[in-house]
Amino acid sequence: MPEDLMRDEDSAEPKKPRQTRIQRKNRQAILEAALDAFAEAGFRGTTLDRIAEKAGLSKPNLLYYFASKEAVHGALLDGLLDLWLAPLRAMDADGEPVEEIVTYALKKLEMARVMPRESRLFAGEILHGAPHMMPEIEGPLRALVDEKAAVIADWMAQGRLAPTDPRHLIFSIWATTQHYADFDVQVRALLQPKRDEHFTQAAQFLETLYRRALTPA
Amino acid sequence: MPEDLMRDEDSAEPKKPRQTRIQRKNRQAILEAALDAFAEAGFRGTTLDRIAEKAGLSKPNLLYYFASKEAVHGALLDGLLDLWLAPLRAMDADGEPVEEIVTYALKKLEMARVMPRESRLFAGEILHGAPHMMPEIEGPLRALVDEKAAVIADWMAQGRLAPTDPRHLIFSIWATTQHYADFDVQVRALLQPKRDEHFTQAAQFLETLYRRALTPA
DNA sequence: CGTCCTCTTGACCTAATGGTCAAATTAATT
DNA sequence: AATTAATTTGACCATTAGGTCAAGAGGACG
């Protein structure tokens, strides 16, 4: 999974592979292990030994691939926002407004289901003040939100969507969908323990919620 | 604030004060400082020295009042769930359904505004698997949710509320409201930096959202 | 005002943890 | 096969952090 989170230095110029076979494999294993660990216990709660163990390496060997614990964390975070926002980017100004938004919410829910670790990693980062991600949030994220909020506002102005605050609408979609990843243990504890069935219910609920709230009178 | 989170041993039998004036003051200061610290940096990211410093005590002195870091954390968590669920408890089966739910959501939002630290403390706990709170979640919380879900289901059966999944409805209220506390830095980074004005907007948005989605056709 | 109990602290201990390093081992390359 | 470069690791180090302890300072009260 963290494949998506790894910056590939040489995407434009495949001059020198730079990454040997072994390197690629081990970096990969480290990021995978770290994602697991960080999502579970947070940055401070995760030890290098634990990551190394999960990755099947010795600690010094891990540090041969990443300069520090921070570096591992940073590598994970680097690609995360992009990955996370892909569905929002895909929201099409030329589509049918209600469908676009419902689709967005459902895609986001699906991501929460398939990538709960990424969601938790992100949640932890924001919860503790976004020390690493602030620039990306204030830059690209804000730009994207501004853009899409404008699209939604347009739809509303055209009467194709019941009027409400576009930004808070987006927040509510983030909140309701990520909730199923970030508060997973709580959700599971409060529902019957049928395997992931609740994601289907959640999808139905959210579709109903947003369809009712946004379909123009 | 953590006054509410402190277990008062002697509520029924005021036999022995047990708590001296100094004790009350210092325990209080410690919990207040710890709430700040834990909410900001999480359990593992918070040091006893930091708490002691914030509380204006020496570390050994802090440990005179609480046996361990765990104990401080536990003391904070102990009262938290009760405090957190008070608004849901207040939801009245005899009230007007839509109003009851909208009121609940708005109360919850208000709590997120007034007690963001408590919200973050809770979020961190759940995010990392609820190691301390699981019993309370599976016990009292689940019971309360079951009870209120039944009330909501009743309302829906009576046609006084548009039908949908009651539990997921509750989750959505938790998610959308707590989002403003837990993801505060993100919310602020994406909106104009007007002081807490966004809580008013959020209230309007949420009221609209739930009113539209729940008012029977 | 002396005694007992509460409170406070400086010094100290130990375990955990992030990180280093030189030496050894293994893969590439010629 | 030899040489070079990449990879791996055991031993080590320094710092941090949770927690202890014995002794001292402060308060309550007969």
The one-letter amino acid at A115:
M
| Structure confidence by residue, pLDDT tens digits, B11-36 | 333 334 467 788 899 999 999 999 99
Q: How near does any CA of chain B get to the CA of A58, in Å?
A: 24
**Does the interface predicted TM-score (ipTM) exceed 0.85?**
yes
Q: What is the chain A residue with the closest CA to B216?
A: A212
Residue B171, pLDDT > 70, answer yes
Residue in A165, A179, A212 nearest the CB of B201? A165
Residue B174 C-alpha, separation from nearest chain A C-alpha, in angstroms: 8
Q: Cβ(A150)–Cβ(A89) under 8 Å?
A: no
Residue A12 has what pLDDT? 36
Task: Tell me the average pLDDT across B64-78.
Answer: 97
Closest by Cβ to A172, choosing from B42, B142, B176: B176
Residue-wise pLDDT for A125-145, tens only, equals: 999 999 999 999 999 999 999
Residue B209: its chain A contacts at CB < 8 A? Answer: 164, 169, 172, 209, 213
To the nearest whole Å, the CA of A186 is away from the closest chain B CA by 7
pLDDT, averaged per 10 consecutive residues of chain A (217 residues), comes to: 43 48 92 98 97 97 97 96 96 98 98 98 97 95 98 98 98 98 97 83 98 96
pLDDT tens figures, B89-143: 999 999 999 999 999 999 999 999 999 999 999 999 999 999 999 999 999 999 9
For residues A7 and A78, what is the distance between their CA atoms, to the nearest angstrom? 7
Rounded distance between C-alpha atoms, residue B214 and residue B129, angstroms: 32
Percent of chain B scoring above 70 in pLDDT: 90
Q: How many CB atoms lie within 10 A of CB A14?
A: 9
The band of B192, judged by pLDDT with boundaries at 50, 70 and 90, is confident
**Count of CA atoms in the C-beta half-sphere (13 A) of A120:** 28
Bases of chain C within 7 A of a CB of the protein: 6-11, 16-22, 27-28
Instruction: State the number of CA atoms in the 13 A half-sphere of A69 facing the CB.
Output: 14
- Spatial separation of the C-alpha atoms in residues A195 and A199, rounded to whole Å: 9
